[in-house]
Amino acid sequence: MTLVSAADLVRDAASSGRGIGAFNVIHLETAEALVAASAEARLPVILQISQNCAKYHGALEPIALATLAVARRAETPVAVHLDHAEDPALVNDAIALGFGSVMFDGGALPYDENVALTRSVASRAHAAGVYVEGELGEVGGKDGAHAPGVRTDPDEARAFVAETGVDALAVAVGSSHAMLDRSASLDIDLIAQLHTALEVPLVLHGSSGVADAVIVEAVRAGMTKINVSTHLNGFFTREVRSTLAANEQLVDSRKYIAPARDAVTNEAARMLRLFALQDA
């Protein structure tokens, strides 16, 4: 297999009632780890590059070209997706670089502004054949649409999709970004209502803070694309710490990065199977 569009992967998962893992790339080693996880699980994966990641690398192009190269060499279907872009110019960059899907994040904006900007981005992206994810949730707290207690209204979500033309929608149902424990409580009934109200697949952001059993419930209720970053970053960092603590003489970064990469591969493969309801 080779590089594919997230459109195909998300639609296939949605039509079969499964979830699909969308994991954030931080650097080249995480991209390699995630593609290896896809091969191990024999399941497709979506590699996500966020606006914050692009900023870390100085621009989108360096990390994007590396990630696209890794995806093209994959044994399994792999998509590369722009995550949490708040700048429409970054969406244009991603399209020019060959991304098959983008997420425009207007979730922290007033509803009318979110609609107008998302509609404009979706129009440009669709003209290039690119799949678009939008975000909707009442503003609240530093996490915007994913602050604790914030919820997406099904009627508003239906109107938002109709007005913007997005192909998938990230919704606020109880998760929150960057959680270090997995204690978030999801509103499963709301997920089911949103699934019934909308014809587009649902996306769960902040899944690092959600326990396995709750994610399975969410998938069964209609959630499709499951975004994970912090949880996998924890596996990487803990393995680096462990390896360095065991050998204080290590100076070759490959010697402690490689085990960390393997740790991400193992956990990402497990999560891919979980989301696909293979281990549920």
Average confidence (pLDDT) over 258-277? 98
Domain boundaries, the chain: 3-275
Catalytic residues: 83
Residue with tokens 């949490």: 84
Cβ 247 vs Cβ 218: under 8 Å = no
pLDDT at 264 over 60: yes
Give CA–CA dist 95/183, Å, rounded. 36
Exposure string over 199-209, b if 16+ CB within 10 A, otherwise e: ebbbbbbbbbb
Cβ 25 vs Cβ 240: under 8 Å = no
Query: The whole model's pTM is what?
Result: 0.91
- The 10s digit of each residue's pLDDT in 143-194 is 445 455 577 899 999 999 999 999 999 998 875 444 444 545 688 999 999 9
Specify the CATH number of the domain 3-275. 3.20.20.70
Tell me what pLDDT residue 143 has: 47
Tell me what pLDDT residue 181 has: 45
Looking at residue 155, its amino acid is: D
More confident residue, 142 or 94: 94
- The 10s digit of each residue's pLDDT in 212-244 is 989 999 999 999 999 999 899 999 999 999 999
Cβ 24 vs Cβ 61: under 8 Å = no
Most confident segment among 73-87, 182-196, 197-211: 73-87
Mean pLDDT of the chain: 90
Ramachandran quadrant class, 273 (left: phi over 0; alpha: psi -120 to 50; beta: rest) = alpha
